[in-house]
Amino acid sequence: MSFIDHIFYKLKNHFFITFKPKNTARLFIVILAITLSGKVFANAASWAGFGGANVSDQDVLEVPSGALVWAGYANTNDTLYPISLSSGGVITFTASVSGSASVRFRLERLPHPDVDPAFNTDSVIVTGTTEATYSIEIPEQGTNIYRSLILYIDNLDTPVTLKNVQVTPYGNDQNGCDFSPQSSGVMQIEAECYSLADGIETESTSDTGGGENVAYVDASDSLTYAVNVPSTGNYRLNYRVASQSGSSPGFRVFVDNQYSDLFSVPATGGWQSWQTQQGRVVTLNASIHSFRFEAASAGINLNWFSLTPTNEPADELPSITNADIEVDGVAIDSTKWFHQTKLPNGNSWFNGEIQHYTDRVSNSYVSDGTLKIVARKESFTDQGVTKEYTSARLNSKFAFKYGRVEFRAKMPSGYGTWPAVWMLGKNISESGTYWAGQGFGNTSWPAVGEIDILEHWGKNQGYAQSALHTTSSHGATQNHGGRYIPTISSEFHTYSMDWNSDRIIFSIDGIEHYRYNPSVKNANTWPYDSEFFLLLNIAIEPFIDSEFIESAMEIDYIRVHDLNNQLIFSDEFDATADNEVVDQISWDVDGDGSVDALSDGVLILRGTFKLTGDDLVSGAISSESGISNEQVIENIANVEQIADIDGNGQVDALSDVLILLRYLFNFISDDLIDGAVDEAAERTSASEIESYIESHMP
């Protein structure tokens, strides 16, 4: 990737500018983030009861007879707001109940609990223990803007299982479009008649009939339609598509938030050369349904999709398989990170977690300047055990004692997801960790100590917590603090942990939310006097939402500074840019075109020992050299990016620089590496190390 291309990628990632190279079919994993924003929707239900209303861990809502007359539930996912329904809209949800219950909603102009009633919907009667989809239409709301969504259950002592609440406004390009069935009962929905869209553009269609089509599709773009199906029955989905070179996997289609179809697009020979692709048969009741199209790959034009009544049986719903998962990204830096995949007890993870951690690129990869760790619903067998969810758990190959950790990240969402950025003592006796393989691992948990810099639970959307686990708390979460971040899953926030021998401080966006400073510091309360390593992961709790498909934790960077504010470890998660810079860096610090032990080697060694001024350059640079001291310092700083010769995650004078000096003095084979290769090194053979050094010669 060129430098200019890299800048464009950064702009797209950080400033939300969408570039649409129409002839490029870049495959990119669909991050099915179960979040809401002003553009897209998914699961809005993150309910907090008020007035005595109860919410259980299984999406079961109940208003007991002792509750106040105004008891109900407030949606706590603030990323939904503001809601504009100038042309009306629809609320859809799935629910079940033993018996029946009346459910209704209210939209309010002010954030809850500042009650300012604005619009009350009609009620709908939920019946039966089998989950069904329900919808409530909202008439035109003019210029009203809403900032609260309230749910009421009118029947007392009646537990209702309620999920997938979706608010879909009419309007945008959907306003004025006619979805009425034709004489044959076929419903044809023009692509430009979406209700909501993210990253989508339209253009004129050149063939007979004219109109518009959706074009310039990039992976992860989305479209949502609200379609009123008049009759219960089975319907076949069909799609009119075009693509210059073809696109696969294509579009994933979700009906009422359920993964229902996947269709790829053949190479039709042109952007206006249309073909109709046949899709699956789905069962729909007479109701308003949401149809969401998620682009799993780029290079697609969509003209329309249709629903054709049929007597054929409904097809089996698709599942996201490995064949569908293709990513436009690269593997993580294996010199810095280790995939922890071994089941600790041979069958499962701790805390009843139900995922497999994998080392596949589809579960953890770097693209567009960020790390993505993806939790996904998919059947996966490893170590003789089959599980229905996958994710990734990364150990840093770097450990440190005291310092400041800072990272910028967005959390995944979805009830049952449990992402974390945390730390363990590298002596933990857990055989699957990176450090256990390096000869460490003689202390059990919790005696080894645990530092949770950030934890987030999908069952408590928006709450960011930091915690310490010690022997004094018997491993329980007794020492903790946190705060709500409404945009935790939709926007990047900066998290930090500041650790010294006296206390540990946790902050979000520069605001402290918890400080751990026990008055008595001993092995029980303060195991934080040894080296710790970083862990990044998303766990899946056993009560994961049945509708969950996948979601990602996205990290922009992670950095560790020592107590002198010197950067001692970092990953900027920008493989392309880093590689471009690294390719340009060489050991030629003084810039004379060659690499010499008594000039460049000495300068690098002195830089490693933090010498400055005359102490840095004296006797190592010719008085006739045109290079300035400032340029030498800059060159040495650049060399730090390539100076981890043995690949153990840090630059050491007595290993990396010693190896370089030996090489420059023509040491070979065992003489090159003897006594200088770190026990935690990635590159351990003389041939590997020689090859690496030579790759950075001028």
Positions marked catalytic: 450, 455
Asked if 428 contacts 568 with a C-beta cutoff of 8 angstroms, the reply is no
Name residue 393's beta-bridge partners. Answer: 537
- Cis peptide leading into residue 446 (ω within 30°): yes
* Cα–Cα distances in angstroms (integers) from residue 154 to residues 70, 113, 630, in the given order: 10, 20, 74
Please count the residues of the chain: 698
- Cis peptide leading into residue 113 (ω within 30°): yes
Number of H helices, E strands in the chain: 8, 41
| Strand arrangement of the beta sheet that strand 463-469 belongs to | 337-339, 393-400, 532-540, 417-425, 450-456, 463-469, 479-484
Residues 660, 597: Cα–Cα separation, whole Å: 8
Map residue 127 onto helix, strand or coil: strand
Return the half-sphere exposure (C-beta side, CA atoms, 13 A cut-off) of residue 2. 3
Asked if 299 contacts 244 with a C-beta cutoff of 8 angstroms, the reply is yes
| CA nearest neighbour of 409 among 513, 339, 524, 487 | 487
Give me the phi and psi of 248, to 5 degrees please.
Answer: -145, 140
Vertex 600: Cα angle to 698 and 630 (nearest 5) = 95
DSSP conformation letters of 264-281: EE---SEEEEEEEEEEEE
